[in-house]
């Protein structure tokens, strides 16, 4: 299974389990993660969720072959189901990030409540490099979390950055040794599971404030632009260059 769902001590763990492909995410995996979050929300015995990955990479982002062969075309596409679930999830979500977190591997963390990462973790948001635009409401949430200029640097240039920068930007809580990371994150999720569930739900709701509608609206705006750019000439050049293992040339596009 490319996504494993595990249950223990009031915690439902969603585990990316495609290490041979650097946990690149397919439509089927998005659907399984969306279904796992729905299951966790509906089940009163689940008090917290942990998102982690097997292998040395958290996620290389979208599986490009799968993504280009069957791009998301409507609001019910698995990726959008997953984004709606994680952005509106009422219970605490803890994430454990080891290795690279590319694209949605990083943007999904903006919807988690507590994030720990290994010292060697690397984050990147290469949307502009692929002729695309941000997703998962990252164009809204990252500037709020990190400040406009730091967010602009990451979203416009798309260059990778390390765990210390991610901590400084405010979306990673701390760096934990890779050998201890999953256990440490699970212990934090277990600690949350022992606390009063109603208190945690209300506290999370208050902290998120009235941004739910704003996040949803931004996701829709991003998705519309993303779909248009995906079939544009710059994205075609970027993806062709990627598969041909060469540097893209955007100089001919205005």
pLDDT digits (tens, 9 = 90+) for 94-151: 999 999 999 999 999 999 999 999 999 999 999 999 999 999 999 999 999 999 999 9
Mean pLDDT confidence for 159-181: 98
pLDDT class of 74 with cuts at 50, 70, 90: confident
Share of the chain above pLDDT 70, in %: 100
Residue 246 neighbours by CB distance under 10 Å = 9
To the nearest whole number, what is the mean pLDDT of the chain? Answer: 96
How far apart are the C-alpha atoms of 29 and 18, rounded to whole Å?
A: 10
Collapse the DSSP code of 88 into the 3-class scheme (helix H, G, I; strand E, B; otherwise coil) and give the result. Answer: helix
Does residue 75 have a pLDDT over 90? Answer: no
pLDDT class of 210 with cuts at 50, 70, 90: confident
Provide φ and ψ at 35, rounded to 5°. Answer: -65, -40
Mean pLDDT confidence for 235-242: 94
pLDDT class of 181 with cuts at 50, 70, 90: very high
Q: Is it true that domain 3-179 has CATH number 3.30.1330.60? A: no
């Amino acid at each position: 299974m490319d996504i494993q769902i595990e249950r223990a001590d009031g915690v439902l763990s969603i585990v990316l389990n495609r290490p041979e492909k650097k946990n690149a995410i397919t439509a089927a995996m998005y659907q399984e993660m969306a279904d796992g979050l729905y299951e966790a929300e509906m089940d009163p015995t689940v008090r917290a969720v942990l998102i982690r990955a097997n292998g040395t990479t958290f996620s290389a982002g979208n599986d490009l072959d799968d993504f280009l062969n069957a791009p998301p075309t409507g609001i019910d596409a698995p990726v959008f189901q997953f984004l709606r679930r994680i952005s509106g999830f009422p219970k605490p979500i803890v994430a454990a990030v080891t290795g690279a977190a590319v694209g949605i591997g990083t943007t999904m963390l903006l919807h988690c409540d507590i994030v720990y990462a290994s010292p060697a973790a690397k984050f990147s948001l290469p949307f502009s490099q692929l002729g695309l635009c941000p997703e998962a409401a990252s164009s809204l949430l990252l500037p709020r979390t990190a400040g406009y200029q730091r967010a602009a640097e990451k979203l416009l240039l798309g260059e990778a950055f390390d765990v210390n920068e991610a901590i400084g930007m405010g979306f990673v809580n701390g760096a934990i040794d890779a050998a201890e990371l999953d256990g440490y994150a699970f212990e934090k999720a277990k600690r949350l599971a022992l606390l009063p569930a109603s208190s945690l739900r209300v506290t999370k709701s208050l902290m998120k404030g009235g941004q739910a509608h704003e996040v949803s609206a931004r996701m829709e705006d991003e998705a519309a632009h993303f779909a248009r750019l995906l079939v544009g000439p710059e994205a075609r050049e970027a993806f062709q260059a990627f598969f041909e293992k060469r540097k893209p040339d955007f100089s001919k596009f205005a």
